[in-house]
Structure 1
Amino acid sequence: MEERKVDVAIIGSGSAGLYALGKVKAARKSFVLINGGEQGTTCARVGCMPSKALIQAAEDFHRRGILGRYGVEGHKELTLDTEEAIGHVQDLRDTFVDRVISNSTAQMPEDKFIEGYAHFVEPNLLEVSDIRIRADKVIIATGSHPIIPTPWQAFGDKVITTDELFELEDLPKSLAVIGLGVIGLEIGQSLSRLGVEVAGFDLLDTIGGLDDPAVAKAAIEIIGKEFPLHLGHAAEITEEGDQLRVTAGDQSVLVDKVLASLGRQPNLQSLKLENAGIVLNDKGVPDYNPQTMQIGNSHIFLAGDVNGDRPLLHEAGDEGRIAGHNATSDEIHAFKRKTPIAINFVDPNICHIGMHWSELDQETTAIGEVNLAPVGRALIMGKNKGIIRVYADKASGKLLGSEMICAKGENLAHLLAWCIQQQLTVGELLQMPFYHPVLEEALQAALYDLYAKVSQKNSSPITELPLA
């Protein structure tokens, strides 16, 4: 059997693996990149990009309902060719995947890129296909796969995940979405807007991962007007002829397909980590340092969705960079992670920034809020639904976090994340310019409400203007 020797072996050519590769190349270390399964990142193939293409198609078609207020006639007669719609999504998906591959693995020589599933033979020895690779350092960036409970697998292609959704030639007439996190809400709302009869189910009493009760209540009310939400009960599936019956509590629906959006599981099962002396914790992943990506004190690093921590592309990129740096350095460096930000592109956007509600000390935290109903720009857009809640330390006035459901939340979330990372106070943020009329004025109103509840005050007699 052929054996090769490299400084660094990277297992996985997704986002984390490719970012790690960039650091390894920059350090001029010898390497091999190994990939099992399909090429292209999860984001490009089955995640961020095809879902956003679907969301855009759905939102554009959905907006026809508001055209009558502008005197546009005939909007009620607009129809949708669902095959064309899903074909457009797939074309865009293929463009994004091809772009990733053509700019990365397609340009790599065979001795640098190996296709196949690698496993450990010894701590520093990997085997893939008929090749053994001895590596000083190993970066595991194998990603994750969607979870389908074993009993549900008996229903075959009637139970799908996003891996199969974006391969459909046409949309089902009816669909149950089980799991109303990011993927479940985005896909559920989009397909509902495209004419699919959708019903949503979740074991929790909330949706979108929201734990601020005021924001969760608003989200359930807003999204629940587009398709029914059945919360607080486990969903069970039974087969009835060519369809599936989904039952949760006293609620039951009969559908053509079920979308399982129950989260994702790390791709570790084929690596034989025990041969490397790596033990899995009770979450099914090795213990590692999120600031160094190092597993214990070993020569092995864990980056991206495979660690189950922050399954987001920008976080996977950072983790790949950290792992690549430390795998090529003489000493291990710890890096400060960025302010957490998570965006659900449901309409209106659901966003989490910084600390979650459940992480706050309610005794020392002030909360400011605004309802979107009276906000001028939102009213003009026909999107004046939702609520913004912002959290700050009562004593110092420093921003801590936020949860919101509002139009263009994706933009407001970034603004808040940048401010939190810079440790700005509420007063300092109020001294920034807010144009009129923009949706940022809604955030400004929430900040004014928050400013009245914190001890920290600006030194200037005019709150909004620093002294010259």
Structure 2
Amino acid sequence: MEIHVDVAVIGAGHAGLNAVKEVRKITDRWVLINGGPLGTTCARIGCMPSKVAIHLAESYKARDRFSRYGVSGGEHLELDRAEAFEHVRDLRDTFVDLVLANTTDEMSEEQLIDGFAEFLSSGAVRVGERVVHAGAFIIATGARSVVPPVWKTAFGEGLLTVDTLFDQEALPESIAVIGLGPIGVEIGQALARLGIRVTGFDHGTRLARLTDPRVSEAAVDVIGREMPIHLGHEPRVEPVEGGFRVRAGAAEVQVEKLFLALGRQPNLSALKLERLGVALDERGIPIHDPHTLQLGQLPIYLAGDANGQIANLQRAAEQGRIAGYNATHRLPRRYRHKTPMSIIFSEPNIAFVGLRFAELDQSSTAVATQGFGPVGRALIMGQNRGLLRVYAAHQDGRLLGAEMVGPRCEHIAHLMAWAVETKMTVNQALEMPFYHPVIEEALQDALLELRDQIGPLHNG
């Protein structure tokens, strides 16, 4: 069966769905091709179900503070983990249904093609028994959890990832988290708070992709109070009766299951891009214009998690819109890379914005350090552990970035991202209003320290 359209979008995640919205403004000759389950990564396995689990675990963990407030009996509250995860799945399904209701549910069988596409040429793909010819293609196939093939073969159902965790009806009593990036830290802490014995391992020496050693040390101290953390050694795993033995350096633990958080890899292999002679980078990602998202001179665009960058829903949606526009217009729009920002929704939050500590020229950078211990709002909440480090240029006082671990730092991260994006100076930031008592007062104190460091040239 031959199908001829103006644009074919491959992948029904946030990037693909936003690309379709843009394409539909220009033409009704389009198709959306999707292999596997519908519903975006965010709704099915990513940010939404994980945040439900995190919120649930945080709510249960709050019982530990009851005695401080004169409330007795909190230690006797019991949790039914199976029922708790059923709640996670129920909300996950709601999120998925909401996505589908406004997108693919409204598409006809001719518009939504079920199956995995492979390129026959730069103008055609095969999907099962059908061949789709298009004037332009948008690749928005997303990414999946990295699982070493040898581990998958040797350990089988003993391995869990975010792709499979939320479908588990019974959770283990013990688990080793391999990889302590954002996903490993978030899920590891949540599972620990649900009463599972969790041990975290990472071959790196920093937690959650932090590069500032002092912030990483503070994060290990806080998160490590809830689960043992072992950094700096490659974990070695062997199956034993009832589960696995994990060794790293001098550490050794026996657990029922492994949770792998080794990163995400783009879903590109099934596309057979090698048939097009597309140049690939060292990670196997097609080389493309980072602004127009086009692969060389081919009428093919790469958007969202498929391009191998750090997963971010807002970025994926914007790239989908850019790709959709460029696939239907002669004069391209350009994707502008905004100030980097990453937020890990552990408690306390971990975040980094703008230039990282490892990227700074230390000789020309002022660094302010502010703990959350004396911050009034943090004391009220009983969550006053953590550290904020803010970076500014000595030459002109411009804010460069920050790394932090602390209560509700998601808000400080946003303020810092806006400040860096607008090239705000320390003095300009201090001219902004601050309230009391709020967590943002930690940022105000850090800015005051930066002003003192930078000197009178920038104090006027």
Structure 2 length-normalised TM: 0.98
SS in 1 for 2:374: coil
Q: Does 1:365 align with 2:358?
A: no
Alignment partner, residue 466 of structure 1: none
Contact 1:369 1:447 in 2 (8 A): no
Contact 2:378 2:439 in 1 (8 A): yes
The number of residue pairs the alignment matches comes to 458
Alignment partner, residue 241 of structure 1: 241
Q: Distance in 2 between matches of 1:281 and 1:422?
A: 32
Letter in 1 for 2:256: D
Q: Distance in 2 between matches of 1:308 and 1:234?
A: 24
Q: CA deviation at 1:60?
A: 0.5
Q: CA deviation at 1:458?
A: 4.9
Contact 1:142 1:268 in 2 (8 A): yes
Q: CA deviation at 1:399?
A: 1.1
Which has the larger displacement, 293-302 or 10-19?
293-302
Contact 2:355 2:401 in 1 (8 A): yes
CA RMSD of aligned residues (A): 1.1
Contact 1:124 1:136 in 2 (8 A): yes
Q: CA deviation at 1:29?
A: 5.3
Q: Does 1:41 align with 2:51?
A: no
Contact 2:396 2:458 in 1 (8 A): no
Q: CA deviation at 1:369?
A: 1.8
Q: Structure 1 vs Structure 2: percent identity of aligned residues?
A: 48
Alignment partner, residue 275 of structure 1: 275
Alignment partner, residue 82 of structure 1: 81
Alignment partner, residue 457 of structure 1: 458
Alignment partner, residue 61 of structure 2: 62
Contact 1:310 1:316 in 2 (8 A): no
SS in 2 for 1:452: helix
Contact 1:177 1:184 in 2 (8 A): yes
Q: Deviations over 1:13-49 (max 9, x none)?
A: 0011011111111223521110001111111111101
SS in 2 for 1:163: coil
Q: Deviations over 1:347-384 (max 9, x none)?
A: 10000111111111112211112000111110010010
Q: Distance in 2 between matches of 1:426 and 1:23?
A: 39
Q: Deviations over 1:294-344 (max 9, x none)?
A: 112221111011111131111111111111111111122323222111100
Q: Distance in 2 between matches of 1:243 and 1:414?
A: 42
Q: Distance in 2 between matches of 1:310 and 1:185?
A: 16
Alignment partner, residue 6 of structure 1: 5
Letter in 2 for 1:328: T
The correspondence of residues 393-432 of structure 1 with structure 2, limited to 5 A, is 393-432=393-432
Letter in 2 for 1:115: D
Alignment partner, residue 22 of structure 1: 21
SS in 1 for 2:32: strand
Contact 1:29 1:328 in 2 (8 A): no
Alignment partner, residue 129 of structure 1: 128
Which has the larger displacement, 184-193 or 353-362?
353-362
The correspondence of residues 50-449 of structure 1 with structure 2, limited to 5 A, is 50-153=49-152, 154-449=154-449
Contact 1:235 1:248 in 2 (8 A): yes
Contact 2:319 2:335 in 1 (8 A): no
Q: CA deviation at 1:457?
A: 2.2
Letter in 2 for 1:180: L
Q: Which runs of 5+ in 1 are unaligned?
A: 460-468
SS in 1 for 2:86: helix
Q: Which runs of 5+ in 2 are unaligned?
A: none
Which has the larger displacement, 449-458 or 7-16?
449-458
SS in 2 for 1:162: coil
Contact 1:143 1:266 in 2 (8 A): yes
Q: Distance in 2 between matches of 1:298 and 1:354?
A: 33
Alignment partner, residue 464 of structure 1: none
Q: Distance in 1 between matches of 2:333 and 2:69?
A: 58
Which has the larger displacement, 173-182 or 308-317?
308-317
Contact 2:122 2:298 in 1 (8 A): no
Q: Distance in 1 between matches of 2:117 and 2:335?
A: 29
Q: Distance in 2 between matches of 1:364 and 1:136?
A: 51
SS in 2 for 1:336: coil
SS in 1 for 2:6: strand
SS in 1 for 2:362: coil
Q: Distance in 1 between matches of 2:217 and 2:28?
A: 53
Q: CA deviation at 1:162?
A: 1.1
Alignment partner, residue 465 of structure 1: none
Letter in 2 for 1:318: E
Q: Distance in 2 between matches of 1:401 and 1:110?
A: 48
Contact 1:428 1:458 in 2 (8 A): no
Q: Distance in 2 between matches of 1:241 and 1:32?
A: 50
Contact 1:273 1:279 in 2 (8 A): no
